[in-house]
Amino acid sequence: MRTTKLLFCLVFIVVVHGAIAWSLNRPQDAGVDVPSGKLRSLSFAPYREGFSPIEEKFPLPEHIDADLDLIADKTHAIRTYSILGGMQPTPEFARKHGVEMIQGGWLGDGHASNKKEIAALIESVNANPDVVKRVLVGNEVLLRKDMDVDKLIGYIRQVKQAVKQPVSYADVWSIYLKYPQLMQEVDFITVHILPYWEDEPVAIEDAAGHVEKIVKQIEDKAHSMGLNKPILIGESGWPAAGRQRGQAVPSVVNETRFIRSLIEVVNRHGLDYNIVEAFNQPWKSHNEGVVGANWGLLTIDREPVFPLTGPVYENPDWLLHFAWATGLWLLLIAVYFKKLAYLLLPRLLVFLALAQVFGVCLVTLADFLWFTSYSIWQQTYTILLVIANSLLSGLLLQRCYAILTKQSALPALANRLRSAYLFFVVLALYKTYSLAFNGRYLSFPVEQFAIPAIGFCGLMVCLYLAQRRLHWKMLRFDSLSGGDAQTPRDRLLAYFLNFGMLAVVIGETHEFMAAYDFIQAHPGFSEGLPVALGYTFYNQQLMAWLLCILVLSIPFWPLRSDKAKI
């Protein structure tokens, strides 16, 4: 009878888990299919894992050839950003695969390197007029403040005099409004419109409308100057993974929705566009974190991130993850199988559910962290963190079982739990203050601390089931772990965690209020603060992280009996 009860509970939890996983990973409608399943243009940077322009490890000719072969049926043209740095053979391979080019020349703050780049650009453009249809002189040079506008105009004029193809300069849309003289110099106006990166981030539902609004502003400005030049949306896209900004949420489905809705907009208005980008760029994580590395149509491994036609899955591998989580759960349960049959039904269900949640968290953590690890150090960190979470899961299950069976306190287990939680709390402090002081590109590490936070909640539930009462003392770490009384060090940890929560909110809010376009739209502090706070508190990832920090801090809070001892 007891074994039957246990088997019934196991089957029940597997069915519930499977139903939840299935419902969360149904195919989603992401909008109208891309016409003929082919884009007008894609940003092309064939950097693979281990290659980086920062480290001057440039693509090999065979990489360019293979990557163009992969995307030739997905785009009519490509946009490149430099002619040097291994990209010299690109026009030859573009011709081979029947792809046109928007050839770019990279400009920085060094005159010698700029001179060399411009000379190579002119030579390549003139040598390949059948492939190179348009030319871009510089990319976001003014945004980065690498040079002043007059010097940039000098480079633009130099190239225009030397080539026959139309010439432009690419930058974010606000730069063209700030320096309208650029519109007079270029043959076509190339603007970057990235709703995710706006100083006031745009929700995916409003992103296509935002693009229309910005294009209208550029057109109106050009017309006011007596100009009627074509507009190229030189970069537009949406990240598939990374940190949320205000209402802008990175996801595979949102990336697909944005690109499909963007194409509807440009087709309706007769605009030209270029999607950023063909492949995920691991090297960008060095400066832009996870979000910077995940704008591609294809992954680092050259697998599709999403389809250009048909429904979209946020996680097409959900069934495999479900199988891994269930297998890991069954291994955990096997350790306690004979003992579990003696637990009462409510306690049995809580223990099994907690073990299942730990299994899901471990698989999610391992999959996401490994997918977003772009260096040997990041991969090492991933392995260490998965091990740490696995060990903590085992300790938490031991303690939960001891509580549910009303075993006497186990000092050795309590000491191990304290050591494990001290590790995670110290790591959480580092992550929290990093987000507070330099968080623009850092992801909120909720999945890394889900098990410690859920573990505390699980211990509280088990204590309630065992004691059949609620008391504030049950929230103390010594009660949860079965160890010694609180120490002054515990109070310091709680204080620093709580101050960190406030620091993250202030840092996120300041990030918005210090941005140029935000200041132009909301010039006064009293006017801008409510708007910035709105973006901050709308951020669901940030709220989830604050909740993690709060849960981690509660067991270390000084309580009335602690204060009396001070």
* Residues in a beta bridge with 304: 298
> Which pLDDT value is given to residue 111?
87
More confident of the two residues 180 and 345: 180
Residues of the chain with pLDDT > 90, as a percent, come to 82
Q: How many domains is the chain built from? A: 2
Does any domain span residue 109? yes
Specify whether 88 is located in the same domain as 226.
yes
Give the per-residue SS3 of 203-263.
Answer: CHHHHHHHHHHHHHHHHHHHHHCCCCCCEEEEEECCCCCCCCECCECCCHHHHHHHHHHHH
> Which pLDDT value is given to residue 7?
85
Specify whether 414 is located in the same domain as 287.
no
Does any domain span residue 352? yes
**Model pLDDT for residues 201-219, shown as the tens digit of each residue:** 999 999 999 999 999 999 9
Domain that holds residue 475: 1-22+315-556
* 369-386 CB burial, b ≥16 within 10 A, e <16: bebbbbeeeeeeebeebb
Q: Tell me the C-alpha distance between 176 and 143, whole Å.
A: 10
Does any domain span residue 566? no
More confident of the two residues 137 and 472: 137
Specify whether 270 is located in the same domain as 387.
no
> Which pLDDT value is given to residue 566?
29
> Which pLDDT value is given to residue 564?
36
Specify whether 463 is located in the same domain as 527.
yes
Specify whether 197 is located in the same domain as 342.
no
**Model pLDDT for residues 364-420, shown as the tens digit of each residue:** 999 999 999 998 999 999 999 999 999 999 999 999 999 998 887 788 999 999 999
Q: Tell me the C-alpha distance between 445 and 344, whole Å.
A: 36
The CATH number covering residue 258 comes to 3.20.20.80
Q: Sign (positive/negative) of CA torsion 424, 428, 430, 431?
A: positive
Specify whether 7 is located in the same domain as 115.
no
Q: Sign (positive/negative) of CA torsion 523, 529, 534, 540?
A: positive
Q: Worst-scoring range by mean pLDDT, 169-173, 286-290, 486-490?
A: 486-490
pTM of the model: 0.93
Does any domain span residue 310? no
Domain boundary residue, one of 269, 298, 327 = 298
Token readout for 289 is 């974190």
Q: Tell me the C-alpha distance between 77 and 66, whole Å.
A: 16
Q: Is residue 560 pLDDT above 70, yes or no?
A: no
Taking residues 99-127, what's their average pLDDT? 96
Domain boundary residue, one of 267, 298, 329 = 298
Mean pLDDT rounded to a whole number for the chain: 93
* Residues in a beta bridge with 104: 136
Domain boundary residue, one of 298, 328, 354 = 298
> Which pLDDT value is given to residue 559?
57
Specify whether 35 is located in the same domain as 116.
yes
Taking residues 535-554, what's their average pLDDT? 96
Does any domain span residue 457? yes
Specify whether 457 is located in the same domain as 539.
yes
Which residues lie below 8 Å from residue 277, measured CB to CB, with a gap of 6+?
42, 43, 44, 45, 237, 295, 296, 297
How many helices and strands (H and E) does the chain possess? 22, 8
Specify whether 73 is located in the same domain as 7.
no
Specify whether 50 is located in the same domain as 7.
no
Specify whether 62 is located in the same domain as 140.
yes
Specify whether 409 is located in the same domain as 497.
yes
Token readout for 100 is 């046109």
Does any domain span residue 307? no
Does any domain span residue 373? yes
Does any domain span residue 3? yes
**Model pLDDT for residues 187-197, shown as the tens digit of each residue:** 999 999 999 99
**Model pLDDT for residues 260-290, shown as the tens digit of each residue:** 999 999 998 889 999 999 999 999 998 899 9
Q: Tell me the C-alpha distance between 382 and 25, whole Å.
A: 25
